[in-house]
Structure 1
Amino acid sequence: MTTVTTKQGDVRGYTSDEGVLVFQGIPYAAPPVGPNRFRPPQPPEPWTTPRDATRYGPTAPQEDNSGEGPLADMVPRLVIPGDDYLNLNVWTPGTTGRLPVMVFIHGGSFTSGSGSLPAYDGSRFARDGVVLVTLNYRLGADGFLWFGDGPPNLGLLDQIAALAWVRDNIGGFGGDPGNVTIFGESAGAMSVCTLLAMPAADGLFHRAIAESGAGHSTVTPATARLIGTRLAAILEVEPTREAIAEVPMERLLAAQAQLGQEVIASPSTKRWGEVARNVMPFEPVVDGDQLPATPIECIAAGAGRGVDVLIGTNSEEARLFLVPTGAAAKISTPVLHAAALRYRLPAFRAVRGYRAGRPGATPGDLLAAIVTDWYYRIPALRLAEAHEGTFVYECAWRSPAFDQTLGACHVVELPFVFDNLDNPGFAPLLGDRPPQQLADAMHQAWVDFATTGDPGWPAYRPDHRVAMRFDTDSATTVDDHGAERVLWDGRR
């Protein structure tokens, strides 16, 4: 057992079988319930006797997806009940020194996920000289509901509070508060890019890594009100935070799920605003104050200029959502053309262009490629163009799942980044023989970037579009998929 002193009190962790010090479930803010519901994160109550930090704390309220079929096997959830869920976890090689710090922000469409998933175990980062932190933050309505009054983006404010905790306390865990890298995947990556644009986060981190998410996923206040009003109607309460706070959590979670299904079933811009395009009801709100403009606009105007950035995507992100569900096999050519038009592409030219690089591709394959570019790859490249000196990567390793059809899908890079190929939670995604050399390469690039700001390849420039392509054999590329990229010029 090892004890570390924080500003709130002592915490007692343990030494893992790998010789890493682990501290779990440390509160960085007070429980967001009762009078703290729908308020910015409040300081946690101090404690006077050493606090046990040998097990994960509660996770943000969310529905369990264990019975939802094959997609749930690819992206499992962990639900630990309890109110004190604004907590974080630390892995460190020791409590002395000033090592680089990495803070991971989990994904899950801003409605699910947890920093407490065993898949995010930070032992291999600690083994390699990094202090690794994971955290939980408010999700769904509790984190992102807004009717125009009171503070918006409470989930992001939670993340900022966790980063303030890191600044104030990480030195006791052997970390350097002057060398903090935030990194996240999916909604976590969108959070990373949004934090780059938020004045309240300025100075709390020095480097940023965005995996499969960029700076375009936000909603306007008008759209936030549309979403909130419909949620209140489902719950049969007044469209106010106060009324929704009176609803039992189980009922609120069920209403959120129903709302999500309604958006998917009828993605009307008139009814749902920007949410109609990405079918993600709860997202950061551009309120003009906390978040002055969309993250990509803020970054293009100079926000985050002093922060080193690494951003990238997987080659076939959208296959995670189209293959396990069977949707890819049902896509017809007319549906493919209609989807291209919906994404503001010249339909016939775009489909012809994507087909040229994919001989024998089905309409479902082509739709997956177009959606991958629209939602993931092109926004990442736009951010790299807006932020000088950004490094770009692509993960091209193809999962063998679903008879070799799942491909280099969404989330496939995570076990390699964390070097956790042996974690049972990743087995459905990785199969029997995932390449350790890919984990060695990706994990080391993340460690190197967090340590020095250089992952090991040249930065991306509009006149020299170099990126690292991670695979069983990794190498740099220059303007890979360039003909497809050009199709999006002026459109994303």
Structure 2
Amino acid sequence: MSGARIDRRAFVVAGMAAGAGAAAAPAWAARSPARPQAGPYRGLRTGTVAAFLGIRYARASRFAAPRPVPAPTGPVDATGFGPIAPQLGLQDHSQSEDCLFLNVWTPDANPRARRPVMVYFHGGAYTSGTVTDPLTHGHRLAEQGDVVVVTVNQRLNVFGYGWFSPWGDRFADSGNLGQLDLVQALEWVRANIDAFGGDPARVMAFGQSGGGAKIATLMAMPAADGLFHAAATMSGQQVTASGPANARERTRAFLGEIGVREGDMETLLSLPAERLVEGLAARDPILGGRVYFGPVLDMTNLPRHPFWPDAAPRSLHVPMILGNTRDETRAFIDPRGPVLTGLDWSNIAERLAPQIRIDLDPRWVVARYRARYPDWSPARLFYAATTAGRSWPGQVIEADARARARAGAQATWVYQLDRPSPVDPLRGAAHTDDIPYVFGTLDAPGSYSGTGGGAAETSAAMIAAFTGLARTGRPGLAHWDAYRLPERATLVIGDGSTAMVADPRRWERELWATAPYIQPGS
């Protein structure tokens, strides 16, 4: 892929997806080169790639499982993104509870093409986010990787993960509705993707941050069995799900915020969506901060934790890439913000304490780091410790668990993105920075990659790696060795270069392994 072309075409779409219209005869029979078609869907062209946007894959009532939609009986306009899930923020986007839409980019909507399919789930924990973000538009990945790209929106926060099962059997699937939405999207892909030139027998699920955590959770869900054949997670792990007791306490906090009596589901079902969104400002009784909603260990849809006490056996046949960035926490702990302002050796332990997820004395942690790295500044130590003690341990646990699995399990490959942002020197290689490399969207709003030669080479390598996994079940870089114990071989991705390194942060891994990791939200 080193010769793949990277250009600066603008990708512009207007309007929202229109509903299906009735027709007396299949109006999509006459194909137009200006308006690409796949079955009943009429898309648009972006460069050499056909895009089909805002395709409905399911419907759902509030707090109920999604239902598949029947095949369209007439032509469907697929030239605009559908609405996104209700959430705090992103007020410049159209939000609706009716948000079960996906998007497809394909080099050629030819049913005989049988290209590998890459299905992307967005980040934002389980609370926010959308695949309408220009960073995750799939036109360049489809073109450069010769794959079919699908991106999915689903229900989030209380709409997708609120735990209402204690108040009636009709809410038995609550707590995991967002996950069931993703299952329904994958079902749609299996049934329909051949019309877009995709191979339903070669479907790879990939996602960043919360999107990766959603994939890890799907790997423990019976309903997802057989729906994807490879997986890649980017800075997104889910070792354990929320327990039902904690989930119930969060629901109580939410109900208190909006003034609804516990168990009064009729009122909750009748409130406008905007009022429920306001309730997301409730304080989380377990973690502090805004209330968290995520997958719940309900023993039905999710009958076990994804990676505790081991890797879910039902997913061991799925080859997997696991990746993180070297400086994860520089993305969400602002180097120019109040936490770092005035940081020095006298206050670093105090400021470190609320940022880590492993219960070690921060004074002891700081002392160990200073002894090991005496030349480091307080800021460098702070970001290394918060990344290794908060954002990275889940990946180590998942990779080690898969490496310990029984004989015959499919391989796992691990990467670490070290390439620092040339756009913001204080950012380093932060959370989300691998997205534009994988999608080829180096010049999109929100990208910190830059567009120079190093960015292009890094992107070409990551596209080759990910599309190779989708195509053949192993990354498309010949020198990327599988992750095994005790070597822990890791692909370290630098500025236009890649190298295999054994256990690259061994000292930090061992330091933080002296106490158990607690998955946020568990």
Shorter chain as normaliser: what TM range?
0.7 to 0.9
Distance in 1 separating the partners of 2:438 and 2:77: 29
> Is the CA contact (8 Å cut-off) linking 1:217 and 1:284 kept in structure 2?
no
What is the DSSP-based 3-state SS (H/G/I as helix, E as strand, rest coil) of the residue aligned with 2:55? strand
- Describe the shift of the 1:13–1:386 C-alpha distance in structure 2 as closer, same or farther (beyond 3 A): same
> Is the CA contact (8 Å cut-off) linking 1:61 and 1:79 kept in structure 2?
no
Could you tell me which residue of structure 2 aligns to residue 73 of structure 1? Answer: none
- Picking from 308, 318, 328, the partner of 1:307 is 318
Alignment of 1:450 with 2:470, yes or no, is: yes
- Picking from 482, 488, 491, the partner of 2:512 is 488
What is the DSSP-based 3-state SS (H/G/I as helix, E as strand, rest coil) of the residue aligned with 1:485? helix
With normalisation by structure 1, the TM-score equals: 0.87
> Is the CA contact (8 Å cut-off) linking 1:148 and 1:221 kept in structure 2?
no
Distance in 2 separating the partners of 1:212 and 1:334: 25
- Output the amino acid matched with 1:345: L
| Aligned pairs (5 A) from 1:260-409 | 262-263=283-284, 271-272=285-286, 275-276=287-288, 281-297=292-308, 299-323=310-334, 324-331=336-343, 332-336=347-351, 338-339=353-354, 343-345=358-360, 347-356=362-371, 358-388=373-403, 389-400=411-422, 404-409=425-430
> Is the CA contact (8 Å cut-off) linking 1:107 and 1:188 kept in structure 2?
yes
Aligned residue pair count:
456
- Describe the shift of the 1:46–1:254 C-alpha distance in structure 2 as closer, same or farther (beyond 3 A): same
What whole-Å deviation, never above 9, does each CA across 1:204-227 have from its counterpart, x for those lacking one?
001010100112252111111111
What is the DSSP-based 3-state SS (H/G/I as helix, E as strand, rest coil) of the residue aligned with 2:194? helix
Could you tell me which residue of structure 1 aligns to residue 226 of structure 2? Answer: 203
Structure 1 residue 483: Cα displacement? 0.7
What whole-Å deviation, never above 9, does each CA across 1:432-471 have from its counterpart, x for those lacking one?
7462111111121111111112223111112111110112
Distance in 2 separating the partners of 1:284 and 1:322: 25
Distance in 2 separating the partners of 1:216 and 1:226: 21
- Describe the shift of the 1:491–1:298 C-alpha distance in structure 2 as closer, same or farther (beyond 3 A): closer
Structure 1 or 2, whichever has the larger Rg, is: 2
What is the DSSP-based 3-state SS (H/G/I as helix, E as strand, rest coil) of the residue aligned with 2:181? helix
| Aligned pairs (5 A) from 1:167-182 | 167-182=190-205
- Output the amino acid matched with 2:89: D
Alignment of 1:415 with 2:446, yes or no, is: no
Distance in 1 separating the partners of 2:321 and 2:385: 23
| Aligned pairs (5 A) from 1:58-69 | 58-65=83-90
> Is the CA contact (8 Å cut-off) linking 1:27 and 1:84 kept in structure 2?
no
> Is the CA contact (8 Å cut-off) linking 2:348 and 2:382 kept in structure 1?
no
Structure 1 residue 370: Cα displacement? 2.3
Could you tell me which residue of structure 2 aligns to residue 146 of structure 1? Answer: 163
Structure 1 residue 357: Cα displacement? 5.3
Distance in 2 separating the partners of 1:329 and 1:474: 34
> Is the CA contact (8 Å cut-off) linking 2:468 and 2:474 kept in structure 1?
yes
Alignment of 1:49 with 2:68, yes or no, is: no
Q: What stretches of structure 2 of length at least 5 have no aligned partner?
A: 1-34, 404-410, 518-522
- Output the amino acid matched with 1:25: G
What whole-Å deviation, never above 9, does each CA across 1:310-340 have from its counterpart, x for those lacking one?
0010001111111253322355234156458
> Is the CA contact (8 Å cut-off) linking 1:104 and 1:132 kept in structure 2?
yes
**Pairwise CA RMSD of aligned residues?**
2.2
What is the DSSP-based 3-state SS (H/G/I as helix, E as strand, rest coil) of the residue aligned with 1:100? strand
| Aligned pairs (5 A) from 1:69-88 | 79-88=93-102
Could you tell me which residue of structure 1 aligns to residue 12 of structure 2? Answer: none
- Output the amino acid matched with 2:191: D
- Describe the shift of the 1:365–1:202 C-alpha distance in structure 2 as closer, same or farther (beyond 3 A): same
Distance in 2 separating the partners of 1:417 and 1:432: 14
- Picking from 10, 13, 16, the partner of 2:43 is 13
- Picking from 67, 71, 95, the partner of 2:109 is 95
What is the DSSP-based 3-state SS (H/G/I as helix, E as strand, rest coil) of the residue aligned with 1:424? coil
Distance in 1 separating the partners of 2:192 and 2:355: 49
What whole-Å deviation, never above 9, does each CA across 1:2-59 have from its counterpart, x for those lacking one?
2222xxxx1111222x2111100000002x3xxx111100122553220100111111
> Is the CA contact (8 Å cut-off) linking 1:101 and 1:179 kept in structure 2?
yes
Could you tell me which residue of structure 2 aligns to residue 470 of structure 1? Answer: 493
What is the DSSP-based 3-state SS (H/G/I as helix, E as strand, rest coil) of the residue aligned with 1:208? strand
> Is the CA contact (8 Å cut-off) linking 2:102 and 2:152 kept in structure 1?
yes
**Structure number with higher helix proportion:** 1
What whole-Å deviation, never above 9, does each CA across 1:108-150 have from its counterpart, x for those lacking one?
1212111222221111222121110001000111000003342
Structure 1 residue 366: Cα displacement? 2.6
- Output the amino acid matched with 1:4: A
What whole-Å deviation, never above 9, does each CA across 1:180-229 have from its counterpart, x for those lacking one?
10000111010010011111101000101010011225211111111110
- After TM superposition, the structure 1 stretch with the greater mean CA deviation from structure 2, 187-196 or 482-491, is 482-491
Alignment of 1:3 with 2:44, yes or no, is: no
- Describe the shift of the 1:108–1:447 C-alpha distance in structure 2 as closer, same or farther (beyond 3 A): same
What is the DSSP-based 3-state SS (H/G/I as helix, E as strand, rest coil) of the residue aligned with 1:215? coil
Structure 1 residue 298: Cα displacement? 6.6
What is the DSSP-based 3-state SS (H/G/I as helix, E as strand, rest coil) of the residue aligned with 2:501? strand
Structure 1 residue 303: Cα displacement? 2.9
Structure 1 residue 487: Cα displacement? 1.3
Structure 1 residue 362: Cα displacement? 4.2
- Output the amino acid matched with 2:109: T
- Output the amino acid matched with 1:448: G
Could you tell me which residue of structure 2 aligns to residue 23 of structure 1? Answer: 52
> Is the CA contact (8 Å cut-off) linking 1:148 and 1:225 kept in structure 2?
no
What is the DSSP-based 3-state SS (H/G/I as helix, E as strand, rest coil) of the residue aligned with 1:303? helix
Structure 1 residue 361: Cα displacement? 3.6
- Picking from 258, 281, 302, the partner of 1:235 is 258
> Is the CA contact (8 Å cut-off) linking 2:239 and 2:398 kept in structure 1?
no
- Describe the shift of the 1:340–1:318 C-alpha distance in structure 2 as closer, same or farther (beyond 3 A): closer
- Picking from 116, 126, 129, the partner of 2:146 is 129
Question: Identity of counterpart residues, as a percentage?
Answer: 36
> Is the CA contact (8 Å cut-off) linking 2:126 and 2:157 kept in structure 1?
yes
- Describe the shift of the 1:465–1:415 C-alpha distance in structure 2 as closer, same or farther (beyond 3 A): same
